[in-house]
């Protein structure tokens, strides 16, 4: 029996899986041409998994792990409800187009529904046409009336260092 003829099994990662999650994150970063942006350490990742700030699902076929999905909870203030954000989803190239991505989405949808979440969100790189087509076949749709902005690096540091010119003082919740 070839590895593809074996059933695909989903499992939840634990903190001890941090090295395997890191391996998949590096593979994803390489695929997305972003390898030079990976600064995460196994120790930090282990902490996020231990404290359940993130969740990770693995897809395995026989003895081989072939993909992963990393997600976390979100909150929509106007609705007063939680959501699930899929930060990363990656299936190794030789296992694509075999239904594994759909299995990840189905499992994540079940998790969201079981937890009472009202939506799932994710982003996709504009050049990734295969993924866009896949998401649209699932029923996903782009959120066209919002533009994602980002503040990072020197711009973030610069803004954090600027004083409040209104004369106001910063008040921490614990300083009252």
Active site residues: 135
- Order of strands across the sheet that contains 8-12: 8-12, 55-61, 64-76, 81-91, 120-122
Long-range residue pairs from 113-120, CB within 8 A, at least 24 positions apart, any chain: 115/82, 115/84, 116/81, 116/82, 117/73, 117/81, 117/82, 117/83, 117/84, 118/76, 118/79, 118/81, 118/82, 118/83, 119/76, 119/83, 119/84, 120/83, 120/84, 120/85, 120/86
């Amino acid at each position: 029996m070839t590895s593809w003829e074996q059933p695909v099994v989903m499992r939840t990662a634990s903190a001890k899986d941090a090295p395997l999650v890191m391996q998949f994150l590096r593979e994803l970063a390489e695929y997305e041409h972003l390898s030079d942006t990976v600064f995460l350490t196994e120790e930090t990742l282990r902490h996020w998994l231990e404290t359940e700030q993130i969740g990770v699902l693995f897809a395995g076929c026989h003895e081989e792990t072939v993909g992963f999905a990393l997600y976390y909870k979100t909150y929509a203030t106007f609705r007063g409800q939680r959501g699930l954000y899929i930060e990363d989803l990656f299936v190794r190239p030789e296992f694509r187009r075999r239904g594994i991505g759909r299995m990840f989405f189905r499992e994540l949808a079940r998790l969201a529904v079981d937890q009472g979440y009202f939506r799932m969100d994710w982003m996709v790189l504009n050049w990734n046409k295969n993924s866009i087509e896949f998401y649209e076949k699932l029923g996903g749709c782009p959120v066209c009336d919002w533009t994602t902005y980002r503040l990072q690096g020197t711009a973030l540091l610069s803004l954090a260092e600027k004083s409040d010119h209104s004369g106001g003082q910063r008040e921490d919740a614990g300083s009252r």
